[in-house]
Amino acid sequence: MIEAVALTKQFSEFIAVDSLSFHVNPGEIYGLLGPNGSGKSTTMKMLLGLLKPTAGSARINGFDVQQHTVEAKRSMGYVPEEPVLPERLTGWEYINYVSDIWRVPRGVERDKEIDDLLTLLDIKDASDDLIETYSKGMSRKISLVAALIHNPKILILDEVQAGIDPRGAATIKEILVGLRDRGNTILMSTHILEIAERMCGRIGIINHGKMIAEGTMDELRTKAKGQQSLEDIFLDLTGGPDMQKIAEFLGE
């Protein structure tokens, strides 16, 4: 279970996350949505214990992340928005390095698990190449393999589908849905509203660090005056494009 309780992050004068509260249950995929700069990644970093909250608390399986960092971190897998990867290792070396850190026992079973994930995500052929040669999508895929390899009960995925090809995105969806059905707790952010609509049981829309709407798709539809698609709901709640300014720019 993931819990954010009045989570707040202030960078000097600027409040990036403003008393944000929400929770993600085991067996649930929760989608955190919001415009660029609305505080999604900052929220995730506080839940992961990578960033200290200015106020409020983050709890993972009941453990306060600030007070019981190790216990909390042990059960989490994270794919960052911009994965920082060791360029001079091959994909295979990197995943084995991460597996060792998590103390996943070495052996045939572990090799098979890694092999299966690399194959599923279509990066097996590149696993002996240096990571510096990987494309953006390949880097994100190897970062997902690294996040999954210790079989964490809690997954925090920051735009994991960004730049992923359709087959890869469909594969990731099936993996995550399967993990959800096995009782894992999944928090993901995405700008691909179709993915959120299809995968997430509940969705939280944040703007300027505050929760402006939360619920199932049906609940959000009711909130947004019966708007049907998540895109319409999102634009209704966060503001659509300024057509007048666009027309001025286009010289009309």
Residues lying near Mg ion in the complex (CB under 5 A) are found at 40-41, 81
Measured between alpha carbons, how far is 236 from 252 in angstroms, rounded to an integer?
A: 25
For 53, the 3-state DSSP assignment is coil
Q: Is 152 in the site for ligand ATP (CB under 6 A)?
A: no
> What type of residue sits at position 3?
E
- Decide which of Mg ion, ligand ATP, none touches 97; Cβ closer than 5 to 8 Å per partner kind: none
Choose between 20 and 60: whose C-beta lies nearer to ligand ATP. 20
Measured between alpha carbons, how far is 5 from 209 in angstroms, rounded to an integer?
A: 13
Q: Which residue is nearest to Mg ion (CB)?
A: 41
- Smallest distance from ligand ATP to CB 122, Å: 26
Measured between alpha carbons, how far is 96 from 136 in angstroms, rounded to an integer?
A: 21
- Decide which of Mg ion, ligand ATP, none touches 161; Cβ closer than 5 to 8 Å per partner kind: none
Q: Is 239 in the site for ligand ATP (CB under 6 A)?
A: no
- Smallest distance from Mg ion to CB 211, Å: 16
27: left (phi over 0), alpha (psi -120 to 50) or beta: left
- Decide which of Mg ion, ligand ATP, none touches 49; Cβ closer than 5 to 8 Å per partner kind: none
**Tokens encoding 186:** 């999944």
Q: Is 83 in the site for ligand ATP (CB under 6 A)?
A: no
Measured between alpha carbons, how far is 134 from 92 in angstroms, rounded to an integer?
A: 13
Place of tokens 């659509």: 240
Residue 131 contacts residue 93 (beta carbons within 8 Å) = no
Residue 179 contacts residue 23 (beta carbons within 8 Å) = no
Q: Please choose, out of 34-42, 82-90, 130-138, 140-148, the segment that lies near ligand ATP by the rule CB under 6 A.
A: 34-42
Q: Whats the size of the chain, residue-wise?
A: 252
Q: Is 37 in the site for ligand ATP (CB under 6 A)?
A: yes
Residues 1-30 within binding reach of ligand ATP (CB under 6 A) = 11, 16
Choose between 45 and 202: whose C-beta lies nearer to ligand ATP. 45
Rg of the chain, C-alpha, whole Å: 19
Q: Is 188 in the site for ligand ATP (CB under 6 A)?
A: no
- Smallest distance from ligand ATP to CB 218, Å: 25
Binding site for ligand ATP (CB under 6 A): 11, 16, 34, 36-42, 81
